[in-house]
Structure 1
């Protein structure tokens, strides 16, 4: 997962828009997407802040019970990640299963 943009960059881009610079020019200058800039401006309007959201950085597993997941994996180790996601339920995707396996190194243990 890529690192969030620095607070300094966010601050410069938002201030440039507030000074009246066109968004398209700000995006080109700072090499950011228009969507990114719009999200920062929206967040600032709603919360008064445009810093990266701390709990959104890095991986956060949708599977919270590690021991239950380890048992589940041992019981279903012959199945594909897609099938495991279907069996787990709770709107878990194949990507969630993969991420949890990688995070907990279960893939090497099983």
Structure 2
């Protein structure tokens, strides 16, 4: 499983879109993050108030 994007990168991308007014498409090219990922971060911020990554739990069940 890949590691989630750093909080710092997420913050830079979201600030570029919300504060600087950069379009999502341009931000995705500048920061090398997919448009879908940016949309997910924005949705998470809208629902939870922040764009922290989800907790990384390995598959399986707890013992």
Runs of 4+ aligned residues of structure 1 deviating over 4 Å after TM superposition are: none
Root-mean-square deviation (CA, aligned residues, Å) is: 1.4
Q: Deviations over 1:15-70 (max 9, x none)?
A: 1110211000100011000000000000001110101112xx14231xx376xxxx
Residue 51 of structure 1 is matched in structure 2 by 52
Larger RCO, structures 1/2 (Cα 8 Å, 6+ apart): 2
| Greater percentage in helix | 1
Task: Give the number of the structure whose alpha-carbon radius of gyration is greater.
Answer: 1
TM-score by length of 2: 0.89
Matches within 5 A, 1:13-92: 13-19=13-19, 20-54=21-55, 57-61=56-60, 64=61
TM-score by length of 1: 0.53
The total of aligned residue pairs comes to 62
- What 5-or-longer segments of structure 2 have no aligned partner? none
